[in-house]
Amino acid sequence: MGKHSAKIHKVFRELSDKKQNNTIKKTCNYCNWTTVKNATRQLNHILKCNKCPKNIKDAFQSDSSMYKYY
């Protein structure tokens, strides 16, 4: 069985050409902010991102589903 992904990863896209030392870079779908694949860091960004739609922010604030897997 493969590794599960947190729901927060759905609002970020992977930079396939930026892999170095097995580090996966992720970019925000709304403002192009880039970080490593880290659910906590990504959630903190989405909650503060000025370009992220309010309904997306509200979904992650009201339901701590970032660690629920799909």
pLDDT digits (tens, 9 = 90+) for 27-67: 999 999 999 888 899 999 999 999 999 999 988 887 655 54
Identify the band that residue 9 occupies on the pLDDT scale cut at 50, 70 and 90.
confident
The pLDDT value given to residue 69: 42
The pLDDT value given to residue 1: 47
Region class of 22: left (phi > 0), else alpha (psi between -120 and 50), else beta = left
The pLDDT value given to residue 66: 52
